[in-house]
Amino acid sequence: MTNRMQFYIDGSWVDPAVKKSIPVVNPATEEAMYEIAVGSKADVDKAVAAARRAFETFSQTSREERVALLEKIIAVYKTRMKDIGAAVSDEMGAPLPMAEKMQAGAGLGHLASTLEVLKSYQFEEPIGSAVVVREPVGVIGMITPWNWPLNQIACKVAPAIAAGCTMILKPSEYTPSSALIFAEILHEAGVPKGVFNLINGLGPDVGVAMSEHPGIDMISFTGSTRAGIDVAKRAANTVKRVSQELGGKSPNIILDDADFTKAVAGGVAHMFNNSGQSCNAPSRMIVPQAKIKEIAAIAKAVADKTKAGDPRAEGTTIGPVVNRIQWDKIQGLIQKGIDEGATLVAGGPGLPEGVNKGFYVRPTIFSDVTSDMTIANEEIFGPVLVIMGAKDEAEAVKIANDTPYGLAGYVSAGTVERARKVGRQIRAGNVNLNGVPNERTAPFGGYKQSGNGREWGKFGLEEYLEAKAIAGFNAA
């Protein structure tokens, strides 16, 4: 039974400094499932002290020791995949098969890819008479979101361990159980005490205390751009490193020589995956103006087959969004799209047909959307796609880059050469051509207001390393 009323600090389950709890609500039923303890600055102080003590020894461990530790974590993680999937499904609404395979699977994938990077990474490099040594940054504060909980936890914790850092994790208060299971996994795998610490809590309490804490050397934050700005401001007084992966409003350019049926259907399905709750979701489909009606019809056919329903029911495509706040925000933006004159192709406001409770959103598509409309600019974070027309390739690129965000971009074309040409022009950290998914060992992160750090693979490991130049090391 997962212990939700304690925190994991210094290798043990401990009571919070102040007894305080909040309910965790199942978004499919709108009912509270259980309570979790929430922390305070005193808990952060305790966790930081443990992490600083542990850093003295863990930072000096060998590559071989950290390889063996990650291998053990992976072995234990594999035994808890179903537990993780069930927790994610209950707490944020992902359909159970998707939660077990994709949500839990994403965490396993990052652990495995980090292990492979660690095995061959060069921590020392000779440059002239100097040697450049890559050393662990120190104590890391990690703040993770609810939409892909294990993906974000694992792609921070795994490289931090690989680098020799110690850490304090504050997972989202909406998805605490999967994070607590992750703590159980690390404990069973024999992670030394103080290396990994977990405190559940709220952003204004635990998040603020971590961002401002002089004993934390780096903050790794994934979440909204608004919250990321606040974290960076609070971290500035202690000049700690801040690595951020923030929001997005990602363009999906479908060129006139693309296979429309394949590209449009794939783009819509990708947008609706995880109920549209992905920071890199292809939320703006930019298509040839002359073909917009044809493309809208293809998109509508996909939306009509997308079933929003009980995450544990067979045949469910997408579950609810995470909570009432998100549901209300999405409903307001759908109505805004209608009010501002976009063409409603599928879905719309209100609950899906046959549903009378739960935070379900109708799979919604707007067409004839222009760049001045709210739904073309704001990150909706729900199953809502906007289709925008462009007269030619140049205008499509211009529309794609006309956003303060720059996390991802997508291009479909008749030839890979043309897709490459357009993809190079998109101002984003990740660009996918002709439906090819992300490469887990390539960097993930954003331009502009989508963030300033990189995760995954070698690039993720290097976020947790400092470069030290020792001149004269190689002198004759």
Known catalytic residues? 245, 279
Closest-CA residue to 2 (of 157, 187, 202): 187
Q: Which residues have CB under 8 Å from 435's CB, separation 6+?
A: 262, 263, 266, 412
Task: Give which of 294, 230, 228 is closest to 445, Cα–Cα.
Answer: 228
Contact 9, 37 (CB under 8 A): no
Distance CA 28, CA 359 (A): 6
CA–CA separation, 21 vs 5, rounded Å? 8
> What are the strands, taking DSSP E only, across 77-202?
124-127, 130-136, 139-143, 166-170, 196-198
Q: If we measure between CA atoms, which residue out of 126, 201, 189 comes closest to residue 157? A: 189
User: What tokens were used for 116?
Assistant: 């492979």
- Name which of 421, 409, 346, 338 is nearest 375 in CA terms: 338
Kindly state the greatest CA–CA separation across the chain.
79
β pairing state of 284-288 and 384-390:
parallel
Q: How many other CB atoms sit within 10 Å of the CB of residue 305?
A: 12
d(C-alpha 444, C-alpha 279), whole Å: 11
3-state secondary structure 338-355: HHCCCEEEECCCCCCCCC
Of 250, 338, 255, nearest to 289 by C-alpha is: 255
- Radius of gyration, CA atoms only, the chain: 23
**Angle formed at CA 109 by CA 104 and CA 111, multiple of 5 degrees:** 100
Give the span between the Cα atoms of 303 and 431, in whole angstroms: 24
Q: At what angle do helices 149-163 and 81-92 cross, to 10 degrees?
A: 130
Residue 325 in tokens = 């706040």
